Amino acid sequence: MSILMLSLPDQIGMILGFIFTLMVFSYLFGDNVLFRIAIYIFVGVSAGYAAVVAFYNVIWPQILQPLVFGEQSDRLFVLFPAILGVLLLFKASPRLTRIGNPAIAFLVGVGVATIIGGAVVGTIFPQVQASINVFDRDAYLVGNSVLGQLFKGSVILVGTLTTLIYFHFGVRQKNGQVSTRPLWIEWIAKVGQVFIAITFGALFAGVYAAALTAFIERVNFFVDFLFSIIPG
C-alpha cells in the first residue's frame, strides 16, 4: 500500500516513525547526536504525557474540583493530600527541602507497606497455596498420573524450600567471632542456587524474546515504509 493512500496524519506518523527508527538504530555505530535527540524527545514527550494524565485524572478531579466545588466533607477529605502535595513542591528548593520531608516520609511509608503487603498477599501466600495444591489428590483426576503429579509436586516443593534456604544468611557467633553457615545449609543452598539460575535464565529468555519481537516489528515497519514510498 502506497503512503499516498493514507490520510495526512497517518503519513506524518509514518514519516516520523521512520525517522526516529533510524535515529535510534544509529546507536549501533556508537553514541551520537541523533540518538541523543531521539532519547530527549522520547523523555520529553513521556514526561509531558504523564503530566497531562496526572492533571486531568488526579489533580483536577480528585483534588482541585472537590476543594472548589465540593461539599464541606469533600473539602476536608482532600485537605490532607492537598497539603502533602504542596509540601512536595518545597523539595525543589535546596533551602526549603526540609519542609517537604514529611510528605516524602508519608509516601515512602505507604509505598513500603503496599509493597510488603503485595508481596505477602500476592506472592508468598499464593506460592504456598500452589505448592500445597500440587499434592491434592483431586488433581489426579484431571488426567495426570499419580506418579507424574507426585514428581511435579516434589520438584516444585524442593525448588521452593531450597530457594528459601539459599537466602538464609543467619550465622551463630562463637567466642565473639562470626562463623559461617552450617555445611548442610551450604549444600541445600547450592541446590537452591541451581533453581535460581534456571529461573533467571528463563526470565532472560523471555526478555530477550520480547526485545527480539520488538526489533522484528521495527524492521518490518522499516521495510514496509520503504516499499510504500517506491512508486509502482
- What is the rounded distance in angstroms from the CA atom of residue 57 to the CA atom of residue 27? 36
- Can you give the pLDDT at residue 77? 87
Contacts of 105 by beta carbon, 8 Å cutoff, 6+ apart: none
- What is the rounded distance in angstroms from the CA atom of residue 113 to the CA atom of residue 190? 32
- What is the rounded distance in angstroms from the CA atom of residue 184 to the CA atom of residue 195? 17
- Can you give the pLDDT at residue 142? 54
Is 66 in contact with 78 (CB distance < 8 Å)? yes
Q: Give residue 113's pLDDT band: very low, low, confident or very high (50, 70, 90).
A: very high
Q: Give residue 79's pLDDT band: very low, low, confident or very high (50, 70, 90).
A: confident
141-191 confidence digits (pLDDT tens): 555 677 777 788 788 888 888 988 888 766 555 565 656 677 888 889 899
Q: Which residues pair with 42 in a beta bridge?
A: none
The DSSP call for residue 177 is E
Is 185 in contact with 165 (CB distance < 8 Å)? yes
Is 104 in contact with 98 (CB distance < 8 Å)? no
Q: Give residue 199's pLDDT band: very low, low, confident or very high (50, 70, 90).
A: very high
Instruction: Point out the least confidently predicted range of 49-58, 125-134, 139-148, 184-193.
Output: 139-148
- Report the SS3 class of residue 178: strand
Q: Report whether pLDDT(118) > 70.
A: yes
- Can you give the pLDDT at residue 178? 57
User: Count of CB atoms within 10 A of residue 162's CB?
Assistant: 19
What is the percent of the chain with per-residue pLDDT over 70, rounded to a whole number?
Answer: 88
Chain-centroid distance, C-alpha 55? 23
Does the pTM surpass 0.75? The reply is no
Is 160 in contact with 127 (CB distance < 8 Å)? yes
- DSSP structure string for 82-96: HHHHHHHHGGGSSSS
Average pLDDT, the chain: 85
